[in-house]
Amino acid sequence: MRQLANWFRRKKLDSGLDRELRYHLERRIVDLQRSGLSRAEARRQAAMELGSIAQIQEEVRDIWLTRWMRDFTYDLRFSMRSFLRTPAFTITAVLSLMLGIGATTAIYSLVDQILLHALPVRQPDRLVLIDWKGDQVANGFGSWNLMSYPICRDLDQQKQFFEGVFCRALTTVNLSTGGDYHAATAEVISGNYFSVLGVGPALGQVLTNDNDRRPNANPVAILSYDFWKAQLGGAADVVGRKVLVNRHPLTIIGVAAAAFHGIDVGEVPSLWIPASMSTEVIPGFSNLQDRRTRWMQVLGRLNQTITLREAQAGLQPWFKAMLKEDVRRAGFPVITAERRQRFLNSSLVLTPAPQGHSTLRRRLVEPLWVLFAVTAVLLGLACLNVSGLFLARGSARDREIGTRLALGASRGRLGRQLLADSLLIAFAGGALGIAAAPIAVQALIASLPGDNAATALHAGVDSRLLLFAFLASVTAGVLSGLAPAWQSGRRSLISSLRERGGTAFGGLRLRKVIVTAQIALTLTLVVSAALFVRTLDALLAKGPGFPTASLVSFGIDCQRSGYSEEEGNRLVRRIDKAIGYSPVVQASAVARFPLLTGGSWNNPMTIRADKRFSTDRDVNLNAVTPGFFSTMGIKIMAGRNFDKRDIGPPGERDARSAIVNEAFVNRYLRGRNPLGVRICQGSGPDATPNTEIVGVVSNFSYRGIREESEQAYFPFKGQGAATFYVRVHGRAESSFQSLRAIVRGVNPVLTMTNLRTLDEQVDRSLNTEHILATLSGGFGMLALLLSLVGLYGVMSFVVTQRTREIGIRLALGARRWSTIWLVLRDALAMIFSGVAIGLPFAWTLGRLVQSQLYDVKASDPVAIAIAIMILCSTAGAAALIPAHRASGVNPTEALRFE
Amino acid sequence: MLILQIASLEPIHGYGMAQRLQQVSQSVVQVNHGSLYPALHRLEQKKWLKSEWKQSETGREAKFYSLTASGRKQLAAEKVDWERLAGAVQLIFNEGGRS
Q: How far, CA to CA in Å, does A629 sit from each of A214, A580, A642, A671, B50?
A: 46, 16, 9, 25, 88
% of chain A beyond a pLDDT of 90 = 33
Instruction: State whether the Cα torsion A884-A888-A891-A897 is positive or negative.
Output: negative
Q: Which segment of A130-134, A287-291, B19-23 scores lowest on mean pLDDT? A: B19-23
d(CA A603, CA A139): 9
For A657-676, how does the pLDDT look when each residue is reduced to its tens digit (9 = 90+)?
Answer: 999 999 999 999 988 899 99
Q: Which of A464-468, A512-516, A644-648, A879-883 has the lowest mean pLDDT?
A: A644-648
| Least Cα separation, residue A17 to chain B (angstroms) | 9
| For the ranges A106-110, A133-137, A263-267, A747-751, the one whose mean pLDDT is highest | A106-110
Residues of B with CB under 8 A from a CB of A: 13-15, 18, 32-35, 37-38, 41-42, 45, 56, 58, 60-63
Out of B34, B42, B62, whose CB is closest to A50? Answer: B34
Question: Is the model's pLDDT at A877 over the cut of 80?
Answer: yes
- Confidence at residue A130, expressed as pLDDT on a 0 to 100 scale: 95
Distance from CA of B93 to the nearest CA of A (A): 37
Mean residue pLDDT across chain A: 85
- Please check the confidence at residue A275 and state whether its pLDDT lies above 80: yes
Overall average pLDDT of the A537-556 stretch: 91
DSSP string, A724-766: EEEEESS-SGGGHHHHHHHHHHH-TTPPEEEEEEHHHHHHHHT
Q: Which of A859-863, B24-28, B58-62 has the highest mean pLDDT?
A: A859-863
pLDDT digits (tens, 9 = 90+) for A130-142: 999 988 888 777 7
pLDDT of residue A504: 46
**Is pLDDT larger for residue A638 or for residue A66?**
A638
By DSSP bridging, strand A657-661 and strand A752-757 are: unpaired
Per DSSP, which regions of A522-581 are E strands? 551-557
Q: How many cross-chain Cβ pairs, A to B, lie less than 8 Å apart?
A: 56
Task: Give the residue on A whose Cα is nearest the Cα of B42.
Answer: A63
The answer to whether the CB atoms of B15 and A23 lie below 8 A apart is yes
The predicted structure's pLDDT at residue A453: 56
The beta-carbon neighbor of A49 closest among B14, B33, B41 is B33
State the Cα–Cα distance between residues A219 and A208, nearest whole angstrom: 13
Where does the pLDDT of residue B27 fall: very low under 50, low under 70, confident under 90, or very high at 90 and above?
A: low
pLDDT of res. A63: 75
Alpha-carbon span A413 to A418, nearest angstrom:
9
pLDDT tens, residue by residue, A769-780? 888 899 999 999
Q: How far is A60 from chain B (nearest CA, A)?
A: 5
Domain containing B94 equals 2-98
* Cβ–Cβ gap B33/A28 under 8 Å: yes
* Residue A52 distance to chain B (closest CA, Å): 8
Q: Is the pLDDT assigned to residue A409 strictly greater than 90?
A: no
Confidence category of residue A350, pLDDT binned at 50, 70, 90: very high
Q: How far apart are CA A341 and CA A345, in angstroms?
A: 6
> What φ, ψ does residue A475 adopt, rounded to 5°?
-60, -45
A63–B38: do the CB atoms touch at under 8 Å? yes
**For strand A139-140 and strand A293-294, is the pairing parallel, antiparallel, or unpaired?**
parallel
Q: What is the pLDDT of residue A801?
A: 77
Helix/strand/coil for A351: strand
Residue B96's pLDDT is 61
Would you call A51 an interface residue with chain B, using a CB distance cutoff of 8 Å? yes
Band (pLDDT 50/70/90 cuts) for residue A394 is confident
Type of residue at A613: F
> With bands split at pLDDT 50, 70 and 90, how would you rate the model's confidence at A696?
very high
* Range among A496-500, A561-565, B69-73 rated most confident: B69-73
- State the pLDDT confidence band at A570, using cuts at 50, 70 and 90: confident
CA–CA min distance A55, chain B (Å)? 9
Q: Report d(CA B9, CA B1) in Å as an integer.
A: 13
- pLDDT category at A77 given cuts 50, 70, 90 is confident
The contacts of residue A94 (CB under 8 Å, 6+ apart) are: A425, A428, A429, A432
Q: Which amino acid is at A814?
A: A
Of A2, A30, A56, nearest to B45 by CB-CB distance is A2
Confirm if A128 and A352 have CB atoms less than 8 A apart.
Answer: yes
Q: What is the pLDDT of residue A253?
A: 94
CA dist A299 and A165 (Å) reads 6
The highest-confidence range among A484-488, A748-752, A817-821, by mean pLDDT, is: A817-821
Mutate which: B21, B30, B37, vs A, most A CBs within 10 A: B37
Express each pLDDT in A185-197 by its tens digit.
899 999 999 999 9
| Nearest-by-CA chain B residue for A60 | B38
Query: In which element (H, E) is residue A296 found?
Result: strand A296-302
pLDDT band at A503 (very low <50, low <70, confident <90, very high): very low
Confidence class for position A155, pLDDT limits 50, 70, 90: very high
Q: What pLDDT, on a 0 to 100 scale, did the predictor assign at position B59?
A: 73
**B58: chain A residues, CB-CB within 8 Å:** 27, 30
Position A499 pLDDT exceeds 60? no
Q: What are A527-536's pLDDT values in tens digits?
A: 999 999 999 9
Instruction: Provide the shortest C-alpha distance from residue A50 to chain B (in Å).
Output: 4
Strand partners, A128: A300, A352
Q: Are strands A182-189 and A162-176 parallel, antiparallel or unpaired?
A: antiparallel
Between A295 and A7, whose confidence is greater? A295
CB contact under 8 A, B33 and A26: no
Position with higher pLDDT, A893 vs A742: A742
CB contact under 8 A, A60 and B58: no
Q: Which CATH number does the domain housing residue B64 bear?
A: 1.10.10.10
Question: At A186, is the secondary structure helix, strand, or coil?
Answer: strand
Predicted TM-score (pTM) of the model is 0.78
Residue from A2, A57, A63, A67 to probe the interface with B (highest B Cβ count within 10 Å)? A63
pLDDT of residue A884 exceeding 70: yes
* pLDDT bracket for residue A286 (50, 70, 90): confident
Nearest CA in chain A to B45: A64
Q: Quote ipTM for the complex.
A: 0.76
Q: Based on the structure, what is the number of domains in chain B?
A: 1
Q: What's the rounded mean pLDDT across residues A16-36? A: 81
Which residues does chain B have within 8 Å of residue A30's beta carbon, measured at their own beta carbons? 58
- Interatomic CA distance for residues A424 and A411, integer angstroms: 20
Interface test with B, best of A27, A50, A61, A62 (most B CBs within 10 A): A27
Q: Which of A538, A544, A549, A553 is nearest to A624 (CA)?
A: A553
What pLDDT, on the 0 to 100 scale, is given for residue A454?
Answer: 58
Does residue A586 sit in helix, strand or coil? strand
Q: What is the mean pLDDT of chain B?
A: 79
Do B38 and A60 make contact, defined as CB atoms within 8 angstroms? yes
